[in-house]
Amino acid sequence: MITNLPPKGMATNVCKTGLIVCLLFAINFISLNPLSAQAASEEFLSLKNKIVSNIHSVTAGEDVFDQTLSSVPDAPYQVNFSITHTDKKGKSIAYKYSLNLQDIDRNLVRWSAKKDLIEVTLKTSRRQNLIQHYEDGEQQNFESQFTILATDADNGKEIQKLFRDIIPLAVKGMEAQLNIPDFDSQAKWLTENITNATVEEDTYQQSWLHEEGDPLKVTFTAVVPGKKETLEELLAFNLADLNEQSVEMVVKGKKVFVDIETQRKRRMIGLKENGTLEDYVSSIQIYTNEIASARALVQVLKKIIPDAKKQMKTKLAFADDPQKLLSLLAEQLQGGKIEDESYEQKIEPTCGTTLTLTETNSKGTDEYVYQFNFADLNLSDTEVVVKGKEIFIENSIHRNNKLIKHLENGVLQNYENNIDFRGLDIENARQISLLIPLIVDFCKTELATWSPPGELTANLEWLEKNIGTVTTPSEQVDQSFKITESGCKIELTQIESNDKKTVEEIFEFNLTDINPREVQFNTSRKNLIIELETQYGDKTIKAYRDGKTENYTNEITILSNELETARQLTSVIKQTIEQCNK
């Protein structure tokens, strides 16, 4: 008997589930293949004729199997295999399998003996359901294999050999047929061949449009009929955001579609339903009427997506002028509105910068201020992240150090280790995400060029001038850095004042006792500090509190209001210690 007949009732509806949006497309197959008239090779035709001549009727007991293999007009690599099974009572069932020879895995063409029959089984690559199956003229679910009966073992071996020889020629021939070499031709093909589709009893009005002047941007519109109302879906995306490796033909039951995902499955596809902005999505499913159409669509998409990525790299080749990069970023950071909330963002076009974000909604307006240096950001950690309808460009500080000063409505908050910019749309976010690493690289170089004032005396004078009063939300700290006796003996005074009390602390130490490798700046909640520790942890620092002598200590902390000042203080103190030790 014939094996692997498909079970009935397996068709499934795979339309819009969760964040996956199904796009139902029809391919106008008349114009599918500009080279369809091209004849297959003589070798291929000779092998196909040999296969036809080797397929015969087979009798097993009182059962008769009439078999034929035929070609499809204008589709030389497409074949129809028909087998009619007539039992001893004269009852017949006609089976038909329609397939493209390139879909068969030549290594999975095998003959075998099964009771009183010799079978040659042919299976598709990766066991995909690519074989169209009919039973008494009625379409069944797609299959991944079918079986040809042989008259004897020698006939079975010959059929196996002929199919194994012809399949590579079919693969080669199909690759040559749909030859659309350049981006413009591929875009034109997609626009012309993606049209209205009829899926079962529903008709979908659809269009695929490349934006004039920027063909990488695509808008797909589909008017989807529903039980109660018609739904118009508009999807906007950039071809360069798609992953060509994810493009594949899928068959479920009687349905055929092409599945495409974005790079890293990021939500980069904008969606509007009846004019209302919905959450971004990460996947597209393109329905077709037949496997040949889906196969052609896969082939064109796998070509056009890499071409789009090459064009995008050329398009986003920015000038190497650092100031132009900073100014361009300032231009790209725009305001926007999402539902009932609007926002504005402005940034200073400098390495040590201030980002001001203002958000307004029905409850009022909030202002967020972030001060940081681009040089502190990770070079490879900039990422576009879509959260529902909002787009962010996320960045983090190197080694997750909390070096971003944050004020909310004028009130200092704890220092942070990440900074997020807002994107107006995907294209705007892409521009920002590509600019930031270039700016970070430049600012790291600029930062490395800064050096302390110079000689010991100049460094000490600079420290005296730049270690001063620091104000926090809860207190004020007046600091003075004075040289006593020889040039390397220091007196650091810190007077902390708040609403309740005032405390004066004095530290006397020699810079030669400080370990230069342990001098570093850091943050502690809302404070920016420079930490100094003694060599080997020796307690050589004399301490006083409100005029009274305290125990000797092995560490002190200097406060700063500004990140760049703290960074420079750290550098100058290190060099000064090394000069004192000479």
Q: What DSSP letter does each residue of 53-108 carry, written as one string?
A: HH---EEETTEEEEEEEEEETTEEEEEEEEEEEE-TTS-EEEEEEEEEGGGB-GGG
- The number of C-alpha atoms within 13 Å of 126 and in the hemisphere containing its C-beta is 7
Q: What is the pLDDT of residue 30?
A: 34
Alpha-carbon distance 555 to 285, whole Å? 63
CATH topology of domain 456-580: PH-domain like (2.30.29)
Q: Is the pLDDT of residue 33 over 80?
A: no
Alpha-carbon distance 238 to 260, whole Å? 13
Strands 283-288 and 20-24: parallel
| Tokens 């017949």 belong to residue | 92
Q: What is the pLDDT of residue 249?
A: 86
Phi, then psi, of 180 in degrees rounded to 5: -120, 95
Residue 530's contacts (CB-CB under 8 Å, 6 or more residues apart) are: 519, 520, 521, 557, 558, 559, 560, 566, 569, 570, 573
- The number of C-alpha atoms within 13 Å of 171 and in the hemisphere containing its C-beta is 12
Looking at residues 172-192, what average pLDDT do you find? 88
pLDDT tens-digit map of 365-396: 999 999 999 999 998 889 999 999 999 999 99
For the chain, where do the domains classified as CATH 2.30.29 start and end? 35-177, 183-315, 456-580
Q: Which residue, among 444, 470, 483, 505, has the nearest Cα to 576 in the 3D structure? A: 483
Provide the pLDDT confidence category of residue 473 given band limits of 50, 70 and 90: confident
* Lookup: tokens for 540: 């050589």
Q: What is the pLDDT of residue 167?
A: 95
CATH topology of domain 183-315: PH-domain like (2.30.29)
So what CATH class is 35-177? Answer: mainly beta
Q: What is the pLDDT of residue 174?
A: 84
Q: What DSSP letter does each residue of 311-368 carry, written as one string?
A: HHHHHT---S-HHHHHHHHHHH---EEETTEEEEEEE-SSSEEEEEEEEEETTEEEEE
Alpha-carbon distance 512 to 517, whole Å? 12
Q: What is the pLDDT of residue 24?
A: 41
Task: Report the 3 state secondary structure along 162-173.
Answer: HHHHHHHHHHHH
Residue 283's contacts (CB-CB under 8 Å, 6 or more residues apart) are: 19, 20, 21, 259, 260, 261, 262, 265, 269
Q: What is the pLDDT of residue 319?
A: 64
Q: What is the pLDDT of residue 381?
A: 87
Q: Which residue, among 528, 409, 392, has the nearest Cα to 467 in the 3D structure? A: 528
Which contiguous run of DSSP H or E holds residue 373? strand 364-373
Pair 126, 7: CB distance under 8 Å: no
* Lookup: tokens for 573: 């103190």
Provide the pLDDT confidence category of residue 200 given band limits of 50, 70 and 90: low
Q: What is the pLDDT of residue 454?
A: 85
Looking at residues 83-95, what average pLDDT do you find? 95
Q: Which residue, among 470, 497, 489, 492, has the nearest Cα to 480 in the 3D structure? A: 492
Pair 384, 426: CB distance under 8 Å: yes
70 CB burial (10 A radius; 0-12, 13-18, 19+): exposed
| Tokens 């579609």 belong to residue | 257
Q: What is the pLDDT of residue 437?
A: 92
Q: Which residue has the higher pLDDT, 223 or 397?
A: 397
Alpha-carbon distance 484 to 482, whole Å? 6
| Tokens 């000042």 belong to residue | 565
Residue 90's contacts (CB-CB under 8 Å, 6 or more residues apart) are: none
Alpha-carbon distance 55 to 82, whole Å? 11
Strands 75-86 and 92-100: antiparallel
Q: Which residue, among 465, 509, 462, has the nearest Cα to 485 in the 3D structure? A: 509
Q: Is the pLDDT of residue 16 over 80?
A: no
pLDDT tens-digit map of 534-579: 999 999 999 999 999 999 999 999 999 999 999 999 999 999 999 9
Q: Is the pLDDT of residue 19 over 60?
A: no
CA distances from residue 216 to 53, 236, 271, 530, 577 in whole angstroms, order as listed: 50, 11, 17, 50, 58
- First CA to last CA across the chain, in angstroms? 97
Q: What is the DSSP letter of 517?
A: G
Strands 231-238 and 248-252: unpaired
Residue type, 129: N
Phi, then psi, of 8 in degrees rounded to 5: -90, 160
Residue 530 β-bridge partners: 521, 558
Q: Is the pLDDT of residue 8 over 90?
A: no
Alpha-carbon distance 175 to 450, whole Å? 59
| Tokens 């980002």 belong to residue | 355
CA dihedral sign of residues 419, 421, 426, 431: negative
Q: Which residue, among 478, 540, 535, has the nearest Cα to 508 in the 3D structure? A: 540
Residue type, 77: Y
Q: Which residue, among 305, 291, 254, has the nearest Cα to 29 in the 3D structure? A: 291
Alpha-carbon distance 255 to 14, whole Å? 9
Alpha-carbon distance 171 to 359, whole Å? 58
Provide the pLDDT confidence category of residue 39 given band limits of 50, 70 and 90: low
Q: Is the pLDDT of residue 297 over 60?
A: yes
Task: Find the range with the poorest average confidence among 194-198, 287-291, 330-334, 533-537.
Answer: 194-198
The alpha carbon of residue 485 and the mean position of all alpha carbons in its chain are separated, in whole angstroms, by 63
The alpha carbon of residue 31 and the mean position of all alpha carbons in its chain are separated, in whole angstroms, by 33
Looking at residues 189-194, what average pLDDT do you find? 88
Alpha-carbon distance 263 to 308, whole Å? 13
CA angle 440, 318, 386 (to 5 degrees): 65
pLDDT tens-digit map of 125-149: 888 899 989 999 998 888 999 999 9
